[in-house]
Amino acid sequence: MSDTEDYAAFVAAAWNRHFRTAVLLTGDPHRAEELLQDCLVRLYVRWRRVASGDPDAYLRRMLANGNVSWWRRRRRETLTDRPPEATTADPAAAPDDELRRALLALPRQQRAIVVLRHYEDLTERAVADLLGCSVGTVKNQHHRAMKRLRETLSRAPEEATR
Amino acid sequence: MNTELPEALRALAERTPPPAAPVEELVRRGRRTRRTRAAALGGAVVAASVAVTGVALVPDAPDTVAPPALISSSDPVTTFKVNATYTLNQKGRTPHVERYVGAFDSAHHTGYLRGTQEVRLFGKDGYVKRGKWKKVNDLFDAVTRGTLSPADLNADSRAVLRALGGKVVRVNATTFTVTAPARPVAAGLAAGKRIEATLVLDPATKRLKKITQTTVLTGPEPAIADRTPVHFVAEIELSAYGTPVVLPNS
């Protein structure tokens, strides 16, 4: 199997799972797809080196770190040849989605830690390795993130009843 | 909450059905990115360094015993010593600078450069010493990237201006600027399209003293846009006209 075939097989198999992680990280399916595509293009360039290791872990790292720095690089406007279909409602963008809004209210690093710990089910050590920080930082940021999530989610029903 | 959160995250993530994986598009973009990098970096940054270039572009060049001896005469116009500085500038990168000293006999289009590595040039081809000598085809093109090499120069500034071609502006009695099309190079090499050159003459002898050539390297595939162009500057100082080219001990 050639490198390209190998890469294509990986993308086909890994796309759905990593797309969902990207949706949680970015909070928007369109941004998630764009981030995932950017990361997969970079993965293609490094495929020979990465393929012998754990490409899933490598891609997860690119997504998490890419989302933190992504907005610094991207312009507000992006060119597209396909305007969004106005009649298609985005279920993930539902205004009553409390968890989504609570996640989006977190700083990007804290959001990444929550997603990696609770959605990807990674250990604190694995999250620290992936984000390039210490285990202590992960513990601290995770604690703050959970506290903030609890506060936001507990406030949400009160706000809804006003 | 810790026990409910994974379930809630999963439900949130799965509310958006993933679009189809654009495998072909990703492969195409990946190939383009790889080629662009190769054109901008592999074909330029590596290439622009005088000696590294040839070796890098011809990595499978077989080892050879030793280059042939240089054929040189002593001529007041065509034999001289050189100090050459080659600089590569690319946005976001530290400039890459290589400095060489050497001697050339442009009548025989031959000479040597010593610096980071040792290079001997014969006609279009040459030899690079990297532990062992390696013969490198089209080494002149790899070194010059469309600019004039030391072996194209001589004391007669008018002859050098003719060799450059293009539009000449006389700045003062000893300085000329030239905008000229780059010389064609071997296929597959990143090279400049236009050369901006400044020639400085010795005020006493009117012989060529220094030439600075600047160009922007573009990849061998014109269809691939280069977002971070590489600026290539070749500064060559000429001195000791009439000195025969004597190879240093290697």
**A85 pLDDT higher than 70:** no
CA distances from B162 to B93, B143, B179, B180, B190 (A): 35, 21, 12, 10, 24
**Which tokens in the block code for residue A55?**
């490409």
User: What pLDDT score does B71 carry?
Assistant: 66
Residues A51 and A118 in one domain: no
| Residue in this structure with the two tokens 């012989």, named with its chain if needed | B207
Amino acid B44: pLDDT: 37
Question: Of the segments A92-96, B107-111, B207-211, which one has the largest average pLDDT value?
Answer: B207-211
Listed residues A84, A113, A130: the one ending a domain: A84
The pLDDT tens digits for B95-125 are: 888 888 999 998 888 898 888 678 888 877 7
Q: How far apart are CA B130 and CA B21, in angstroms?
A: 47
Check if B10 contacts A (Cβ < 8 Å): yes
Q: B8 CB near a chain A CB, below 8 Å? A: yes
Q: What is the mean pLDDT of residues A30-54?
A: 90
How would residue A48 be classed by pLDDT, with cut points 50, 70 and 90?
confident
DSSP states along B74-115:
--TTTEEEEEEEEEEEETTSPPEEEEEEEEEETTTTEEEEES
Residue-wise pLDDT tens digits, A140-160: 999 999 999 888 888 765 555
Contacts of B31 in chain A (CB under 8 A): 44
Q: What is the average per-residue pLDDT within B36-45?
A: 47
Centre a 10 Å sphere on the Cβ of residue B122 and count the other Cβ atoms it contains. Answer: 19
Give residues 29 to 48 of B whose Cβ lies within 8 Å of A.
Answer: 29-31, 33-34, 37
Residues A57 and A32 in one domain: yes
* pLDDT exceeds cutoff 70 at B139: yes
Q: How far apart are CA A120 and CA A18, in angstroms?
A: 10
pLDDT score of B51: 30
Give yes or no: residues A102 and A23 share one domain: no
From A30, A62, A84, the end of a domain falls on: A84
Judged by phi (left if over 0) then psi (alpha if -120 to 50, else beta), residue B54 lies in alpha
Let me know how many helices (H) and strands (E) chain B has, helices first.
Answer: 6, 13
- The answer for A71, left when phi > 0, alpha when psi is -120 to 50, beta otherwise, is alpha
* CATH number of the domain encompassing residue A158: 1.10.10.10
Q: Do A40 and B16 touch (CB under 8 A)?
A: no
What residues make up the domain containing A24?
A: 1-84
* Chain B CA closest to residue A12: B21
pLDDT digits (tens, 9 = 90+) for A26-37: 888 888 998 999
Per-residue pLDDT at B198 exceeds 80: yes
With H, G, I as helix, E, B as strand and everything else as coil, classify residue B39.
Answer: helix
Same domain, A31 and A68: yes
Are A74 and A4 in the same domain?
yes
Pairwise CA distance, residues A142 & A110, whole Å = 6
Check if the beta carbon of residue B75 is closer than 8 Å to that of residue B90.
no
Same domain, A29 and A104: no
Distance CA B115, CA B101 (A): 7
The predicted pLDDT at position B41 comes to: 43
> Residue range B185-201: average pLDDT?
84
Please count the other Cβ atoms lying within 10 Å of the Cβ belonging to residue B55. 20
DSSP state of A53: S
Report the number of distinct structural domains present in chain A.
Answer: 2
Using alpha carbons, select from B110, B114, B126, B123 the residue that is nearest to residue B75: B110
Domain B49-239 architecture: Clam (2.50)
Q: pLDDT-based confidence at B232, cuts 50/70/90?
A: confident
Same domain, A124 and A153: yes
- Mean per-residue pLDDT over chain B, rounded: 78
pLDDT of residue B185: 80
The CA-atom distances, in angstroms, between A79 and each of A14, A74, A76, A88 are: 26, 12, 10, 20
Q: Residue B166: its pLDDT value, please? A: 85
User: Domain boundary at A63, A84, A105, which?
Assistant: A84
Is B28 within 8 Å of chain A by CB?
A: no
d(CA B33, CA B39): 10
DSSP letters of A99-117?
HHHHHHTS-HHHHHHHIII
ipTM, interface predicted TM-score of the complex: 0.77
